[in-house]
Amino acid sequence: MRLFITLVAVAFLGGLITGKSVFAETEPQWVAKPVQCGSIEEIAEIAKERGLRLTFAGDGLSNSVNYDEALPVYVFLGINPDTNEWALTEIDTEQDRGCVIGYGDTFTIDVNTMQKLAGPRS
């Protein structure tokens, strides 16, 4: 325990002197993240069963360790305002497979923030 406290103290003092934390990542790193993928039909069926309604959609880019360049993808957010469930889904370039890249059972929508993000047209 004394060794641990000493190491933390040295790391803290080193951070004060250099302005950098020894625990902080110096560069972004690729990490593996489990996602659930399936055919477009399977993704649509899950969304229908859960009562998810399309709330946001956009074309974007997805990086992968398998490719040198980012790939175009279609991303959408579905929510169920009655159950507070949501799912963020990414559709591949061939539009035959989708992956749920995030989901949950709690969300909030801050109208003021959304209006600011949307700009003067909202």
- Please indicate, yes or no, whether residues 48 and 81 belong to a single structural domain of this protein: yes
- Please indicate, yes or no, whether residues 4 and 35 belong to a single structural domain of this protein: no
pLDDT at 65: 76
pLDDT at 23: 55
Q: What is the pTM of this model?
A: 0.65
In a domain, 54, yes or no: yes
- What residue numbers bound the domain in which 20 lies? 1-25
pLDDT at 34: 82
| Number of domains, the chain | 2
pLDDT at 10: 47
pLDDT at 79: 93
In a domain, 115, yes or no: no
Q: Which residue has the tokens 């469930």?
A: 85
Q: Say whether 18 sits in a helix, a strand or coil.
A: helix
Per-residue pLDDT of the chain (122 residues; tens, 9 = 90+): 554 454 545 454 445 455 555 555 578 777 777 888 999 999 999 999 999 999 889 999 988 777 889 989 999 999 998 999 999 999 988 889 999 999 999 988 788 877 777 777 65
In a domain, 119, yes or no: no
- Please indicate, yes or no, whether residues 84 and 64 belong to a single structural domain of this protein: yes
Q: Which residue, among 55, 112, 110, has the nearest Cα to 80 in the 3D structure?
A: 55
Strand residue runs (E) in the chain: 36-39, 53-62, 71-80, 85-91, 97-104
- Please indicate, yes or no, whether residues 35 and 91 belong to a single structural domain of this protein: yes
- Please indicate, yes or no, whether residues 57 and 21 belong to a single structural domain of this protein: no
- Please indicate, yes or no, whether residues 43 and 6 belong to a single structural domain of this protein: no
- Please indicate, yes or no, whether residues 5 and 36 belong to a single structural domain of this protein: no
In a domain, 116, yes or no: no
In a domain, 61, yes or no: yes
Q: Which residue, among 75, 71, 73, 77, has the nearest Cα to 104 in the 3D structure?
A: 77
- Please indicate, yes or no, whether residues 15 and 44 belong to a single structural domain of this protein: no
